[in-house]
Amino acid sequence: MTTRVVLVDDHQLVRAGIGALLRELPNVSVVGEGADGEAAILLAQTLAPDVLFLDLVMPGMSGLIALERIIGQQPDLKVIVLSMHSSEEHIVRALQLGASGYMLKDVAPDELALALTAVMNGETWLSSAISRTAIAEYVGRTASESPLDTLTSRQRQVLKLIAEGHSTKDISAQLELSVKTIETFRAQIMDRLAIHDVAGLVRYAIRHGIVPL
């Protein structure tokens, strides 16, 4: 099975280098390239890749904003953030927004294949140079914050509509997303909040002021 990849980075030489390495991998097809956040959103929508490599810092729309919007529309898409920044703050924020991986641009070329294999298997990939500190920081922060704080803006929006009594079909129509996408969001919300039924979500939303009594 071929893994369809889109590559977005504002530096043409970086795109050329990573693109060439990806094209050498077996069963990998680079189906599109872009240079900014707007292009990333459009390519993700129109090409429906399996994996999107997304630069963190780009002119105009940043990679983090693009990431949140892309995951908000396509929660099943695997996004691997590309960055020169190894700070825990950048890594944790990318993971919180739904990134499946975080790769430093100075890694060894063979990490590309390892990263693709990991995210396609449902795992989170972090470059070896940052894994230990990133995981410790991520676990520490998520353990100390409210589960509600781990939800993305789109997940909060879906939670609010669920709590207001809207059906999956109604939410799908309102947000202009597929029923399957809304079901994916609902499952993610339940997982993050450790709640396993709609009635529980409603009670949680009322308790935390997401919807009024």
Q: How far apart are CA 180 and CA 117, in angstroms?
A: 25
Q: Pick 3-143's CATH classification: 3.40.50.2300, 3.30.1360.70, 3.40.50.150, 3.40.50.720.
A: 3.40.50.2300
**Of 139 and 155, more confident:** 155
Cα 162 from Cα 98, distance rounded (Å): 21
| pTM score | 0.74
Q: Are 6 and 32 in contact (CB under 8 A)?
A: yes
* Banded pLDDT at 1 (limits 50, 70, 90): confident
Tens of pLDDT, residue by residue over 76-106, are 999 999 998 877 778 888 888 899 999 998 8
What's 147-207's CATH class? mainly alpha
Burial class (CB in 10 A: 0-12, 13-18, 19+), 88: middle
Computed over its alpha carbons, how large is the radius of gyration of the chain?
18
Domain-by-domain residue ranges, the chain?
Answer: 3-143, 147-207
